[in-house]
Amino acid sequence: MSDVVLEKVSRHFGDFVAVSDVDLRVAQGEFVTLLGPSGCGKTTTLRMVAGLEQNTGGRISIDNEIVSDAASRVFVPSERRRLGMVFQSYAIWPHMTVFENVAYPLRVRRRPADEIRDRVLKTLRLVEMESFAERPAPALSGGQQQRVAIARALVFEPKVLLLDEPLSNLDAKLRLQMGDEFRAIQKRLGMTTLYVTHDQSEAMALSDRVVVMDRGRIQQVGAPEEIYRYPANRTVAGFFGTPNLLPANVEACARIDGGRVRLDVAGSGWRGRCEAAIEVPAGGAVTVMVRPEDIRISDGADDDGLRWSGRIAHTIFRGATIRAVSTSTRPPSAATPSATP
């Protein structure tokens, strides 16, 4: 297995900057997800690691080998990087059977027939598709095609696995199931994995670490819960979930257990306490983030937390949750809001 290192990696298309000064290390066996809205540079970054795009700045290394260095004009072609890749479209060849699709990477590497058969069947067994080996590819469901695409990417034992939104074509229930199955396979193999998605829930469920990108730059890197609870800036807070973001000023600041910071803040007609990652001096402006799941309805007897009184205009039923929309502009109460400078 291998690690992947990006150092000040950039990609320009004329005057347009698709990716700018990206620094990232994916450790051996780690599952790292590039998360962000469309056009943020995540797929371009993945394609540069794959060798499908050439970086115009910086350096990319895989397993301590430089595979692309813009300054010294080093560029190792994609087929020599020992990478497995699963595309959004799966790229399953319709004129081949499942076995032939998975065997293709070994055939182009001129492996012996006995070895090809053994490795293909072993890999199909891993993704629970061995019984479909002779089935024509067009006769497969979306989930089955995704498993075949994963098997084809794994069969030649790549150093690193790259995946570009491989679940986006599946329905919601199958997407959850296939995401869990793929993560189990990745853990079992201990394979270094770089994954691209715009789905926040998917990123949180699958990843060891999440890299949030916007406008070609990395905004924050961290464990899913860390980013969800303590976003580095307003951009990350706004994209990762659906929080309420409230402007406020700091009245007092103090260190608490765990290296966190407690802030006494005041907004328009309200005040209270919240947590932050860094110290902010009194008088400083912050944005207080209140997650919807932290909001509770109170009868007014409890004075803890931030408070908001108003009238519910309407509710939206969403199965496991109900969204309540209020006519008031004052902030909701919350047990543990956080603040971003």
What pTM value is reported for the model?
0.85
Alpha-carbon gap, residue 150 to 269, rounded angstroms:
55
- Domains of the chain: which residue ranges? 4-229, 242-340
Alpha-carbon gap, residue 183 to 32, rounded angstroms:
11
> Would you state the pLDDT for residue 300?
61
Alpha-carbon gap, residue 248 to 108, rounded angstroms:
61
CATH code for residues 4-229: 3.40.50.300
CB-CB contact of 178 with 144 (8 Å): no
Per-residue pLDDT of the chain (341 residues; tens, 9 = 90+): 579 999 999 999 999 999 999 999 999 999 999 999 999 999 999 999 999 999 999 999 999 999 999 999 999 999 899 899 988 887 888 999 999 999 999 998 899 999 999 999 999 998 889 999 999 988 998 888 888 998 998 998 888 999 998 888 778 888 888 888 888 888 988 899 999 999 998 999 999 999 999 999 999 999 999 999 888 888 898 888 788 888 999 999 998 877 788 999 998 878 888 888 888 999 999 999 888 888 777 766 555 567 777 788 888 898 878 888 777 555 444 444 555 55
Packing angle of the helix pair 142-154, 172-189 (nearest 10 deg): 20
Q: Residues 235-241: contacts with CB within 8 Å, 24+ apart?
A: 236/212, 237/287, 237/289, 237/340, 239/35, 239/36, 239/37, 239/200, 239/212, 239/214, 240/35, 240/200, 240/212, 241/200, 241/291
